[in-house]
Amino acid sequence: MKIAAIQMVSAIAREANLERARALLGEAAAAGAELAVLPEYFCTMGARDTDKLALRETPGSGVVQDFLSTAARELGLWIVGGTLPLEAGDDQHVYNTSMVYAPDGQCVARYDKIHLFFFDNGRERYDEGRVIAPGKTPVCFDLPSRDGHRWRIGMSVCYDLRFPELYRALARRGAELLLVPSAFTRTTGSAHWEVLLRSRAIENLAWVVAPAQGGTHENGRQTWGQSMVVDPWGSVVAQRASEEGLVLFDLLAEDVERARTRLPALRHSVL
């Protein structure tokens, strides 16, 4: 199955971001991708964290959801919409939600980011919990690929990457491919991004696909980029350093089976 990890440098205006995302999704479809994954916050990198509140959508209805559904249908693509803000039951918080659309335009899975980023080194400070409500439930979905294989795909977002128990839970549910749409900061990304992605692949003997934000944004934030694909043995097989564009790669299901047969660590887990 050919996948496209889409790297962006999202701006403040939602409409401009959707226009760029549509162009990149079109490139992915033209290149033969079956699954395209957008990064976290693909639809907006606001001037302030609270800007998300004004853009929150009701599940099943909204500008960004309609965009994703239409793009999936028109392009014949499976699309994972990095994240978008969905209402969370009060006026001060939203869910940071990743949504999956099948080629018929139907939403087939929703994952609300569980772990919320906090970082303060005295110069940079981030506190997602101020405006984002945490999700509670790990999510997998099934994707029947053109070659006849039915892929089991586990969902996650950015800061989740630091919590291996989530990925082990996904692997126990049969996940062969782990998605990590992200917006890692330049500071934390330069230190930890690649080693964490490779670790999650190695621990679970699964493909990892991680589309990221990658550059200097209109709001001044700097994101690390390095969107990448990691194979089930932990090797980085494709990546893009910075700025917008695609990371394309053909995933082989037999690589997962081969790795898990050769080193059956998942069966040896006792805790």
Q: In the chain, what are the domains?
A: 2-268 (3.60.110.10)
pLDDT at 271: 87
Q: Distance (Å, rounded) from C-alpha 193 to C-alpha 15?
A: 29
User: How big is the chain by its Cα radius of gyration, in Å?
Assistant: 17
Q: What is the pLDDT along the chain (271 residues), one digit of tens a residue?
A: 999 999 999 999 999 999 999 999 999 999 999 999 999 999 999 999 999 999 999 999 999 999 999 999 999 999 999 999 999 999 999 999 999 999 999 999 999 999 999 999 999 999 999 999 999 999 999 999 999 999 999 999 999 999 999 999 999 999 999 999 999 999 999 999 999 999 999 999 999 999 999 999 999 999 999 999 999 999 999 999 999 999 999 999 999 999 999 999 999 999 8
Q: Tell me, what amino acid is at 43? A: C
The residues with which 94 forms a beta bridge, in sequence order, are 87, 132
* Catalytic residue ranges: 40, 113, 158
CB 87, CB 96: distance < 8 Å: no
pTM over 0.85? The answer is yes
State the burial class of residue 55 (Cβ atoms within 10 Å of its Cβ: 0-12, 13-18, 19+): middle
Beta-sheet pairing, 94-101 with 107-112: antiparallel
CB 197, CB 79: distance < 8 Å: no
